[in-house]
Structure 1
């Protein structure tokens, strides 16, 4: 696997910057180099933002599109990263998962049955609408991508429900996932071995897990 991890720096501070136009072009070049040597390419989708805000979102999207359009085969560091990889956020992780799921949905093969299409059109008389048609009623739950975080309600409905922004909603998502988590069955001997390994690593100077 050809792995690349490159970007420019902030010339005012020397800090690495991600999701920049230069980083996107570097991804394009890395993809070309990987294909030149005949290897699959590992890319990433990082951000230099220090908090899960609008900057984190557009830098992630810039990085992700750079990797995707560059022909990435495997993407690491694609969820949760902040501060150029020096910190992470569970809210950012959830927001990134939402965007990654949307990417996956975008690249699904579109299926079109022309016979079904014309029959669906014929179901509705001129001047009518398709919201109540048999085809719509049969497919409305599965026809479109269902978001993990996005709120598509109007302003009034959103306001009445607490006016929470995307980061606040992502906070609720990860807390619900963690709260609902049930550990899978694990042999007690293996659990004890893992706990012993962690304890030995901590005594040896490894960073604590908490």
Structure 2
């Protein structure tokens, strides 16, 4: 609330007189940008797009795929042996299942579990009424309004870990937030893990791109959390992408098995672009996603019953005239909503297929329209974990500093929305009616003074002032205001404490591992 608008209200004295006007001015001077209201869990019900009958029909189609087509595990004989021992039909590298078989294998997966942060205050719960937001993932480029679009570097990676740590609306540090292309491919996972473990105390993701990188990630986490603690608690996640349609390559399935053996969270995420990796219709994409994901979840349970898992997805539609991917489309958003319902019926936490994703090449109106559509369908459908909640641009090729900040404002607003509002005695503010009267305002009442600081969610870069003031201040657009904000956040960042011995052990581990590796730039 601006001082000018409060004074404008006070120009015509009310019966409250000058004393009330002075109180309003003191109130205006005391208002400062508020932090996002802490998220305490979803309090509005999830929206169910599909009926039980329709959901059962999609599940039947998933069973049809698994029985008649099957899923291939290429190069991973161990995974095939696990399934063979349960009575699945193995034909070369392809495995087929009778209806209901895979779902039964998933039954030991927990419906709710914790991901522990280095600081226990940062520990999050996946499942139930909880929502966990995290930044974008995997972009090889970054962009900002000052330096433009460029390959991302380790400095950019560290910057985004710091920004995610500083953001009240994000609960998770992410994984490969951007690809640090100035570090050798076979070594960069060490630098990324070091950043997550020392620059943040929020949960994080480990590497999945080679078995030795998986083991390095787990060993570095053990240096911080302790082997015994990690034997019984999840502190990290693995992003296991299915090579859709219907293939697990040995890199992904081996990574899945190693993380499961260590008792760490496995998120299984088919990636289906409708018309390319699966049929065009949302129903077909939903059924194929369910089939592919259940097989990965089942494998995790065969390796270690009770292994924490997340039913993930990443899907989009295509422009069928050009072949370009589109994001935030109504068809993709409906698929997201269907998959959230299917995941709840499976009994495991759900990672959305959405987030604030867009194909736009700039943090513009298209970017925010795409992102808003995808985010609304994701959160209202009841998803538990949202990847790509901040920064995504160009279909994931670019992590934008400005869009990261713009997305944070929307994340905070959505979290406030999910918590609903109170209807208790204090919420109705009856005492305020006795302090004022018909035709008078409530700005200086005790009820307002008690609650003004946290009553409304206050975005950090929005400008609600009059045109004249906006123009006098440079007529800055949202993305331009976001530039100043991300610079301020990095300047204000305070590195969390870590025991010197643990810091030294991590740095020694990274140095020793790098010394034994030749550089690989492919």
The normalised TM-score by structure 1 is 0.87
Alignment of 1:83-122 (within 5 A): 83-114=394-425, 117-122=429-434
How far did 1:202 drift?
A: 8.6
Work out whether 1:48 is the aligned partner of 2:48: no
Tell me the residue number matched to 1:12: 321
Distance in 1 (CA, whole Å) between partners of 2:490 and 2:481 is 15
Q: Give SS of 2:404's match.
A: helix
Query: Cα distance 1:4–1:151, how it changes in 2: closer, same or farther (>3 A)?
Result: same
Work out whether 1:189 is the aligned partner of 2:504: yes
- 1:30-57 CA deviation, whole Å, 9 max, x = no partner? 1232133222211131111111111111
Alignment of 1:33-182 (within 5 A): 33-43=342-352, 44-45=354-355, 46-114=357-425, 117-182=429-494
Work out whether 1:203 is the aligned partner of 2:519: yes
Query: Cα distance 1:9–1:202, how it changes in 2: closer, same or farther (>3 A)?
Result: farther
How far did 1:21 drift?
A: 0.9
Whichever of the two has the greater Rg, that structure is: 2
How far did 1:85 drift?
A: 0.9
Q: Give SS of 2:504's match.
A: helix
Unaligned 5+ residue runs, structure 1?
none
Distance in 1 (CA, whole Å) between partners of 2:333 and 2:312 is 15
User: Please, which moves more after superposition, 107-116 or 85-94?
Assistant: 107-116
How far did 1:132 drift?
A: 2.2
Distance in 2 (CA, whole Å) between partners of 1:103 and 1:202 is 46
Higher relative contact order (CA 8 A, sep 6+): 2
Q: Give SS of 1:42's match.
A: coil
Q: Give SS of 2:368's match.
A: helix
Work out whether 1:2 is the aligned partner of 2:311: yes
Would the aligned equivalents of 2:431 and 2:447 in 1 still touch at CA under 8 Å? Answer: no
- 1:142-188 CA deviation, whole Å, 9 max, x = no partner? 22112111111111221222211110111111011112224344536
For the aligned residues, what is the CA RMSD? 2.3
Distance in 2 (CA, whole Å) between partners of 1:179 and 1:13 is 43
Query: Cα distance 1:20–1:140, how it changes in 2: closer, same or farther (>3 A)?
Result: same
- Higher-strand-fraction structure: 2
The normalised TM-score by structure 2 is 0.37
Q: Give SS of 1:6's match.
A: strand
Q: How many residues align?
A: 206
